[in-house]
Structure formats: structure tokens, C-alpha cells
Amino acid sequence: MTNFVELFKSAMLARESIGIVLLFMCAIGIMLNRGFFRDVWNDHSRFWRLMARIGAVLALTTLAWVSLFDDWLQLVAEPYRLSMPWDYQRVVYDPVEPEIRAVGSVLLVAMLTVLACLFARHVGGYLLQLGTLALSALIWMPLFIMNQRLNAMVVQGAEASNTLPEVLGLSAFWVLRMGLGALTIGATLMTGMMLIALVATLLLDLLRLREQRITHEADGFFSELGRRADQREDVSLKAIWRPIERPL
């Protein structure tokens, strides 16, 4: 029983757990928006089809690298940690090697740059980007603070829990920690991507590479509607007019 408890605690505190949650959430998002991602993947422009494939490769590579070798929660908190004025405020529990962190940071910036360009192409321009930036930045701070507190509580609780009922009770807080952690990561990445998107959109407009998105989700509907309209025989109103007869 003791070995099972230790194994369960190790699984809860593993760095890879948040990566699995993010992968699951991304898969659900792609399944729910298959039409949109199909249009992005099959863009009529060769340049943007290439950008979509580069973005997919970078996203999968970044997700795999940070989940397996780095720590998502530490990575997204790195700018906040480095901004602290005192050394004791920049101390990290279980830090990652600087070389691994450097590779993860480069992959993350490259992924956000490509995704920002795709956002400007397929989703919206400056106004939508500013609104998304304001919203993501607004919700980031409370999510970050709650996640930091909950993360410390789960780590301390795991160290103090030695029996199966205690660990099972702690698992509810672990689920909450995973949910808040995923939301914090999403808000952080969205904030960074919108900051990059504002600059990327300007450059794409200057280079005349950003065009209005063309979707094909309703092509089947309108094709069928046109076919039925062509088959319908036009009958003049005079031919079908009948006088109104009042009841006796």
C-alpha cells in the first residue's frame, strides 16, 4: 500500500501531467473546430499552407519538449520571476537546467510568432487582437496568483500525506490545480501571442500578405441550394392567380 501511495503522489507531482492535460485540451479544441482548422490547413495560398504546417510542427514540438524536459508552469512564470527585485523572490523549487529552458523558450517564441501570423490571417485584425489582449491580460493575474498558491498547497500536502485516504483527498485539489494551471498557461500564451500579432499584422499588411479569409464550410449547402433553384420551373404569378371566393 505504501508503494502505491508513493506512486500516486509521484504521478500528481510529475511535470508531465500538465503536458498531458494540455494535449488533451488541444485535441478537444481541434475536434470541436474541425471546419476552421481544415480551412487553415487547406488555404488557397501556398505561403499560408506552409505557415499552417510550420505552426503545427512547432506546436507539437513545443508541447512535447516542454512537457517532457521542461516545466510549463515554471516557463510561463519566468518573466514574472525574473522581474522580482530581490534574489530570494526569484528562487525556484526544483529548477530546470538553463540549456533546456533556453531551448523551450526559443521554441515557444517561434510557435507564438507563427500562430500570431495565422491569427492575423484567419481570425481577425487589430481591433480583435487588442480586445483579446486586454481580456487575456485581465484574467491572467488572478489565475496566476491562485495557481501559485494552489501549487504550493498541493506540493506541501503531498509531502505531508502518507496514507491512501489522505492522498485521495488531495487528488481533488490536484484536479483543481491542473485546471487552473491549464487556464493560466492559456492566458499567458494568448497574451504573448496577441502582443506579437499586433506587430505581425502590421508587417503582413505592409507586405500585402494578409488577405480576407475564405471559408468553404457552407459550399455544400449553397451548391445544393443552387441546384434546386435551377431545377425549379418558373411559373408566373398570373398563371397561378385565382380569385378569392367569399364563403356564403
* Domain assignments of the chain as residue spans, ordered by start: 2-221
What tens-digit pLDDT sequence spans the chain (248 residues)?
Answer: 566 667 766 777 777 888 888 999 999 999 999 999 999 999 989 999 999 999 999 999 999 999 989 888 888 888 777 777 777 667 777 778 889 999 999 999 999 999 999 999 999 889 999 999 999 999 988 888 888 888 878 877 777 777 777 777 778 888 888 888 899 999 999 999 999 999 999 999 999 888 755 556 566 767 777 776 666 655 555 565 666 666 55
What is the per-residue pLDDT for 27?
92
* pTM confidence score: 0.77
Measure the N-to-C terminal CA separation of the chain; round to a whole number of Å: 92
* Distance separating alpha carbons of residues 174 and 9, to the nearest angstrom: 10
What is the per-residue pLDDT for 217?
59
Report the 10 Å Cβ neighbour count for 31: 9
C-alpha cell at 73: 508552469
C-alpha cell at 70: 521542461
What is the per-residue pLDDT for 115?
96
What is the per-residue pLDDT for 64?
93
What is the per-residue pLDDT for 208?
87
- State phi, psi for 202 to the nearest 5 degrees: -60, -45
* Distance separating alpha carbons of residues 23 and 147, to the nearest angstrom: 19
Instruction: Please report, for residues 28, 38, 184, the alpha-carbon distance to residue 32 in angstroms, rounded to integers and kept in the order given.
Output: 6, 12, 21
Q: What are the helix (H) ranges across the chain?
A: 2-13, 16-32, 34-41, 46-68, 72-76, 78-82, 98-122, 126-160, 164-206, 219-231, 237-240
Which residue, among 137, 184, 143, 157, has the nearest Cα to 21 in the 3D structure? 184
* Distance separating alpha carbons of residues 178 and 151, to the nearest angstrom: 9
What is the per-residue pLDDT for 84?
78
> Which residues lie below 8 Å from residue 71, measured CB to CB, with a gap of 6+?
15, 94, 96
* Distance separating alpha carbons of residues 61 and 67, to the nearest angstrom: 10
